[in-house]
Amino acid sequence: MPRVKLTKSAIGAFPIPNKDIVHWDANCPGFGVKVTPTGRKVFVVLYRTAGAGSRLRKYTIGTYGRVTLNQARVTAQKVFAARLDGRDLAAEKKASRRRMVADRVDDLLEAFITQHVSQNRSAPEVSRMLRREIGSAWGNRSIHEITKRDVIDVVSAIEQRGAPVAANKALKAIKTFFRWCAGRAVLDRSPADGVPLPAKEIARDRVLDDDELVRIIAAARQIGGPYGGIVELLALTGQRREEVALCTWDEISTGTRMWKLPSARTKNAKAHEVYLSDQAIAVLGRADKTGKFVFSRSGTVPFQDFSLAKRELDQLSGVSGWRLHDLRRTCVSGMARLGIAPHVADKILNHQNGTISGVAAVYQRHDFLAERKTALEMWGAHVQRAIARAIGKNNHLLKVA
């Protein structure tokens, strides 16, 4: 192989060969320019991984024209310096290219959905969102190509569609996905780090007063059927909407007056027991026992038409600006007014991190079942008294209650 003093004019004068030839730099052994039969000129570095007799490595710096001679010399010196530190930049570059091919976003996304998202109660909704927003935008790209700018673009596009809340949810899911990748050593760092939520989130604090609660329960009884029962049981037990809507008869024991939710049906994946007050038992007594599900039109499929039914409920009750989840907050706030201790209310709500936390939570395993029973009986009686007072005032809406 020829050795020459590499200069800009020397490189420009190299003839086009019949086969690849490398012109090595006389002043920097191991650094040279490869010229191909097509006239392409590429800067390369040749070095041994561990001294004389060890394996030879070739590191391709780049094409002359896109890389200047001075830039190539600097890179060559970095390669030689890395070798002295025991690093093999050629092997690292090859491994990086292999990762770029192997670590496709769509493959990792499906693994994330299977291993992580599928365990959550909201898995169908989150999975659809991830495939729609991330899979369609980045699916065929390597995850190592995704930058902070890419994350911001995806989230901004959702926000510009007039869905700031959806944009917030998408960003949270994206951050969880990248943290999952980092936890499995696919990424060193998440490109979503430091990306702020596009919309300011305001914690809901809507608590219905007794008059509003009574009007909602009365309207729910007017509607009747599975939806009416769901609304009233939500108000009396403080449980989550999906937990009530998907309730099955085999979870209910009228003898012990207990409703036992399996871990697969709770948000925190912990089995949960709910005491059924007289008022809750009355709601279940009005339900149709024709099938598996307590609140169902057919017995075989749980009630699902929440949006339409909620509009009717608002119209009948005259109460607006609230969500079904506010019944959960109303229930626990009402029990607090009745003197129920916060840790008992936390147990009723099946909160994973409640008022008992830290070291105390590690050792505190008491279920407070007796206290929970008393609390729900007191709350049910309070609701019943509120309804009776409203009927006594000749409220026309409550005459059907």
Q: SS3 of 258, please?
A: strand
Q: Are 133 and 169 in contact (CB under 8 A)?
A: no
Q: What is the pLDDT of residues 94-150, one digit of tens each?
A: 766 655 556 889 889 999 999 888 877 677 888 999 999 988 899 888 888 899 999
Return the bridge partners of 23, or none.
33
What is the per-residue pLDDT for 360?
A: 39
Q: How far is CA 301 from the centre of its chain?
A: 27
What is the per-residue pLDDT for 359?
A: 37
Q: SS3 of 176, please?
A: helix
Query: What is the spatial distance between Cα 384 and Cα 393, in angstroms, rounded to a whole number?
Result: 14
Query: What is the spatial distance between Cα 235 and Cα 330, in angstroms, rounded to a whole number?
Result: 8
Would you say residue 216 has pLDDT above 60? yes
Instruction: Go through the chain and tell me how many residues it has.
Output: 401
Would you say residue 398 has pLDDT above 60? no
Q: What is the pLDDT of residues 20-76, one digit of tens each?
A: 999 999 888 889 999 999 999 999 998 887 766 677 888 888 999 899 999 999 998
Would you say residue 358 has pLDDT above 50? no
Query: What is the spatial distance between Cα 181 and Cα 138, in angstroms, rounded to a whole number?
Result: 15
What is the per-residue pLDDT for 203?
A: 61
Cα-based torsion angle of the residue sequence 342, 343, 349, 350 in order, rounded to the nearest 10 degrees: 160
Of 143, 147, 144, 166, give the one whose Cα is nearest residue 156.
Answer: 166
Q: What is the DSSP string of 305-332?
A: -HHHHHHHHHHHH---S--TTHHHHHHH
What is the per-residue pLDDT for 121?
A: 66
Give, in degrees to the nearest 5, the angle at Cα 348 between 343 and 350: 90
What is the per-residue pLDDT for 223?
A: 94
What is the per-residue pLDDT for 396?
A: 53
Strands 41-48 and 31-35, bridge-based pairing: antiparallel
What is the per-residue pLDDT for 400?
A: 43
What is the per-residue pLDDT for 93?
A: 74
Q: What is the pLDDT of residues 279-296, one digit of tens each?
A: 999 999 999 888 899 999
Q: Are 127 and 117 in contact (CB under 8 A)?
A: yes
Rounded mean pLDDT, 392-397 = 62
Would you say residue 365 has pLDDT above 50? no
Query: What is the spatial distance between Cα 41 and Cα 105, in angstroms, rounded to a whole number?
Result: 34
Of 24, 20, 17, give the one whose Cα is nearest residue 1.
Answer: 24
Average pLDDT for the chain: 87
Query: What is the spatial distance between Cα 14 and Cα 17, in angstroms, rounded to a whole number?
Result: 9
CB-based contacts of 219-225 (< 8 A; 24+ apart in sequence): 219/313, 219/316, 219/317, 219/397, 220/313, 221/400, 221/401, 222/316, 222/397, 222/400, 223/309, 223/312, 223/313, 223/316, 224/286, 225/297
What is the per-residue pLDDT for 96?
A: 61
